[in-house]
Amino acid sequence: MELPSTKPYLLRAIWEWCNDNGFTPYIAVQVDARTNVPREFIRDGQIVLNLGPDATNKLQIGNDLIEFQARFGGVARQLSVPVTQVSAIYARENGAGMAFEIGGDSGIAESEAVVPAVEDISDEKPEPPRPEGGRPKLQRIK
């Protein structure tokens, strides 16, 4: 019997932690054919999405999909992201969060492939994202 993934539970927990502490939760997504996001915002096969309560409507972080409505250029869109395609969830303000392996053939179960937040590994503070609308910098630690 295969155990269910811990990834959706960790995503929900970090999303809640961000909101409880006044941070804005962002997710980094590796886009595939099942990912329903605005294609014009995909860069290098990835998209970063704001999951904050002010940016989303009808947000549901399920065990298989993250579904919500969001506005892009003033146009409301329905988004759907497979949980398996989320590579990270983090606070926009300080970069604290968690990164995940996407697929891969490492032989490691998805729940074991979770990498602790950067702040838990070193004394250095992660570089915060550029506030002028640039892409946030997410550092992977392996």
pLDDT at residue 137, as a whole number: 57
Domain range list for the chain = 7-120
pLDDT at residue 138, as a whole number: 60
Amino acid letter, 59: L
**Whole-number Å distance between alpha carbons of 57 and 70:** 6
Average pLDDT, the chain: 81
**Whole-number Å distance between alpha carbons of 26 and 49:** 5
**pLDDT tens-digit series, residues 51-91:** 999 999 999 999 999 999 999 989 999 999 999 999 999 99
Global pTM reads 0.72
List the one residue out of 66, 115, 57 whose CA is nearest residue 90.
115
Q: Is CATH 1.10.10.10 the classification given to domain 7-120?
A: no
